[in-house]
Structure 1
């Protein structure tokens, strides 16, 4: 059984200008096995796309919702999909 997933999360709150994308990348690399990116959006949110094992994507999502993130997260909206590939690593965009 192929238990890989694609997580797309939109993080709301004070998440720009506080190192949020850098810490998201560092956390994704620490979890391991994840590729994708973190991107600042024009409306103040950060978009996070992660592909890898469903378990590791859930671990990243739990971190995004935790009190360990920089800044202040007001909420996270996520969707799940099948991986599309094409990401060589986890990048900051």
Structure 2
């Protein structure tokens, strides 16, 4: 089991980034969340199989079609236990 926290910057709010991230995560069997931050970034926490977390990490680098991702910061975590996958 792997868990990671991602901070995604760029044009990532108001472009269906969180909903698209949730779809990707659920397809990959991941739990976690995607939430808008006050500074314009989106925080994504993902937990599941290591290869699934890596697949989501790769997807986050470009996001959905209307997004313009400028950066993705990643930190691995052990305290990211989140059931299901929520957006907020």
Using structure 1 for the length normalisation, give the TM-score. Answer: 0.86
Residue of structure 2 equivalent to 1:54:
50
1:84/1:20 CA distance change after superposition, 3 Å: closer
Which aligned runs of 4 or more in structure 1 are off by greater than 3 angstroms? Answer: none
Query: Secondary structure at 1:62's aligned position in 2?
Result: helix
Q: Could you report, residue by residue, the CA deviation over 1:20-73 in whole angstroms, capped at 9, with x for unpaired residues? A: 0000000001112x111000000000000011111111110000013x524100
Structure showing greater Rg = 1
Separation in structure 1 between the aligned mates of residue 80 and residue 46 of structure 2, nearest angstrom: 10
CA contact (8 A) 1:16 1:46 kept: yes
Residue of structure 2 equivalent to 1:22:
19
CA contact (8 A) 1:8 1:47 kept: yes
Separation in structure 2 between the aligned mates of residue 31 and residue 80 of structure 1, nearest angstrom: 18
Residue of structure 1 equivalent to 2:40:
44
1:83/1:57 CA distance change after superposition, 3 Å: farther
Residue of structure 2 equivalent to 1:92:
87
Separation in structure 1 between the aligned mates of residue 13 and residue 2 of structure 2, nearest angstrom: 26
Q: Any stretches of 5+ residues in structure 1 without a counterpart?
A: none
Count of aligned residue pairs for this structure pair: 87
Separation in structure 2 between the aligned mates of residue 84 and residue 7 of structure 1, nearest angstrom: 7
Residue of structure 2 equivalent to 1:35:
31
